[in-house]
Structure 1
């Protein structure tokens, strides 16, 4: 996959590995980096060989957020009213939504800082595995503007309103052990074990029933705002669909044969 020098993408063993590769800038994302990430994720969503995604950062940090220095260096007149809304909708917001709605599971491997947009990309993944030295933060209020890219949606759902306000209004930095305690992330490992743990999880997910993973993700997302009757109806429709897949037949054969299933993602 072609990408700017700030993003590297490769597919092997059913896993799309996306590496943020600007370590000297804390892997902060420029507009071209966001565009490259979008292309890679949208290709993965379209089907084919990708059955899981692993998102990681090169160097000391996962991602320091959007590259405000690069954006401000462009200069020019103040943009017209509504320009920011259109720009966010087509770039950072589209990226977070694409990752959130991805029909295959995604893992974020986080070391160092995950801030702003970088934090939201991690949280839009299904699993966040963090080094024990990692830290999570929302720098928006300290810079004088409100949060974007899903912050006010993701944080209250994961850690509750009171803790979300701590991060978004007070700018509280949350170290990895506390983030695990709060439910912000899925797992914390020693820093030296991060790469291996994230790879192992991504490989496990890529070997699973891909259709079932995608349907389950969609149900969980839909039910965040649904009542129980609507959720039960959706589950019934989804079970009907998943029962028609080859992975279901393989799962039953494996159960009856007392062996591990060999899922193909179909």
Structure 2
């Protein structure tokens, strides 16, 4: 997003003679959250913006002009790196991420060849430049898993994710074993929702729940031509409930790893 919002917030804070800490106390927020908003790294929730307006006496300016996704863009033509920009910044700051995948492996778990195959199936097709940009974006996101412990990552996968072939059986085997190895060394937890299980609310789209040390959780959902970052507490709570309900129908960690290994062998893995 443009940082005009953050810069205006900073100007109003300084005009009021307040430090970030003082404003945070008045608005019932944390200093680091204020810092992120001013720097353009986070978008405040509607409740945050309302509290900032009250603290600074700015009427409803910060609430009314709170940055939003530009729905006028044709999202199916927009490179993933831009479409996911707001959520990606939060993903990098999260301490705990819960992923649900209904069709594809989550972006932070994708291998280069799998990401390229998935993006190659897009319609209308990406240009070579857009496709390369999107693949690089996903690989950059995956680097958060190179950190030893944070963020904690849980991945809830519908079985269709690894049964349907993206690219080729060889690509699928490589992708599945990448996830298995991450789980076996304890870097992530993975749980499978069996195809024979009940349908659930989450099956409408992919979902990512993100938790932080210094602000309330947010959720990101993405479907066909639609991507949305949710920060309203009542909506996030509903998504959390749906995730917990789906998790109750999932296989255990050990059972899930076994199912994934078996699927990799069915795709041709010989390790």
**Is the shorter-chain TM-score for this pair beyond 0.5, marking a shared fold?**
no
User: Which fold has the larger relative contact order, with Cα–Cα distance below 8 Å and residues 6 or more apart in sequence?
Assistant: 2
Higher-Rg structure is: 2
What TM-score, normalized by structure 1, do the two folds share?
A: 0.29
What TM-score, normalized by structure 2, do the two folds share?
A: 0.29
